[in-house]
């Protein structure tokens, strides 16, 4: 079968037909998927009843897996899934829904702010692959913003201003915006800021993108309030509706996105309902700026 991509309405994302992700893919199919990612930045595969092993095998066929170690407030003995997965569900290790005031849940609410996965790591993520095992009765959409289009739409003066700026990213900055301040000393050390370029050039297409996230809490050489106001304006600009695709989940959907070219955010859903979505992630090629790993 041939892999085909079909653009979703007028937006940048595309649906993919003609591929069964439960089976090993041919080189041609893998190349077609990378091509589709380069072009669309978000690809949607419907009706893929993947097991964990199949999701891992598919992810590995595209590149090297990024492990999720120490990036949430789950303690090592509280992991529900192996570290080859980022567990972005609302479930504890016994598959019980987190209580409303559970600290791990409140930290994870940070995912409702616009972000790019792992921008708080020295080597940030390339692709994320999110698979829906169970979804809530309403809400819980994931929204994606096209950061290439957002860059293209900047005025010439702003393009010059942002070109060489370096931002500082930390999960502490995104959580502070939601009033989550109670980090332990160990967590403050673990979530220390890293530096990322504000403008990235895609290695395959040569297109420029704004590399933004709510994790960005400063610009090197700028006073903090001025930097945060500037970054907030850029995020507002980049998430105007014409740049956004909202994905309404069905069980069995696998959605892939390129974190170098997009931002995304989760939307709220009923607190007592399980949302079992499992993310695998590909590591990026390297740091976006020189810094200690
Ligand atoms: Fe995310």
Return the bridge partners of 20, or none.
none
- Which DSSP string do the residues of 218-243 spell out, in sequence order? EETTS-HHHHHHHHHHHHHHHTSGGG
pLDDT of residue 239: 98
- How much distance in Å is there from the Cα of 188 to the middle of ligand 1? 20
Query: 251 near 132, Cβ under 8 Å?
Result: yes
Q: Which sign does the torsion angle of CA 185, 188, 101, 129 carry?
A: negative
> 212, 266, 239: which is closest to 86 by C-alpha?
266
> In this predicted structure, what is the pLDDT of residue 252?
98
CA of 251 to the centre of ligand 1 (A): 18
- pTM, whole model, 2 decimals? 0.96
Residue 263 has pLDDT above 60, yes or no: yes
User: Does residue 1 surpass a pLDDT of 60?
Assistant: no
Give the separation between CA 53 and CA 125, rounded to whole angstroms: 21
Ligand 1 centroid – CA 259 distance (Å): 9
State how far the Cα of 220 lies from the Cα of 242, in Å rounded to an integer.
30
Choose among 288, 293, 286, 281: nearest CA to 86. 281
Average pLDDT of the chain?
Answer: 96
Torsion of CA 35, 38, 39, 41, to 10 degrees: 120
CA distance 177 to 118: 18
Q: Read off the pLDDT of residues 17-36 as tens digits, 9 standing for 90 and up.
A: 999 999 999 999 999 999 99
Percent of the chain with pLDDT over 90: 94
Phi/psi zone of residue 95: left (φ > 0), alpha (ψ -120 to 50 degrees), beta?
left
Q: How far is the CA of 142 from the centre of ligand 1 (A)?
A: 9
pLDDT of 258 reads 98
């Amino acid at each position: 079968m041939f892999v085909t991509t079909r653009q979703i309405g007028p937006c940048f994302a595309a649906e993919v037909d003609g591929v069964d992700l439960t089976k090993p893919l041919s080189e041609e199919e893998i190349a077609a998927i990378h091509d589709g990612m380069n072009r669309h930045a978000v690809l949607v595969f419907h009706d893929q009843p993947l097991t964990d092993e199949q999701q891992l095998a598919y992810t590995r066929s595209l590149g090297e897996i990024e492990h999720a170690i120490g990036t949430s407030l789950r303690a090592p003995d509280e992991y529900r899934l192996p570290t080859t997965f980022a567990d972005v569900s609302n479930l504890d290790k016994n598959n019980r829904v987190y209580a409303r005031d559970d600290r791990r849940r409140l930290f994870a609410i940070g995912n409702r702010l616009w972000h790019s996965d792992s921008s708080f790591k020295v080597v940030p993520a390339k692709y994320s692959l999110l698979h829906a095992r169970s979804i809530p009765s309403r809400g819980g959409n994931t929204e994606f913003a096209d950061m290439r289009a957002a860059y293209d739409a900047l005025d010439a003066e702003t393009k010059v201003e942002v070109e060489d700026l370096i931002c500082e990213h930390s999960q502490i900055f995104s959580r502070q915006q939601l009033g989550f301040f109670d980090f332990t000393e160990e967590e403050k050390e673990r979530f220390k800021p890293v530096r990322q370029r504000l403008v990235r050039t895609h290695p395959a297409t040569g297109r420029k993108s704004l590399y933004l996230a709510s994790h960005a809490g400063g610009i090197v050489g700028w006073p903090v309030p001025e930097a945060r106001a500037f970054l907030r304006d850029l995020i507002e600009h980049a998430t105007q509706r014409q740049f956004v695709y909202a994905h309404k989940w069905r069980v069995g959907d696998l959605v892939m996105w390129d974190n170098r070219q997009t931002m995304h955010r989760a939307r709220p859903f009923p607190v007592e309902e399980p949302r079992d979505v499992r993310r695998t992630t590909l590591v990026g090629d390297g740091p976006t700026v020189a810094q200690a790993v």
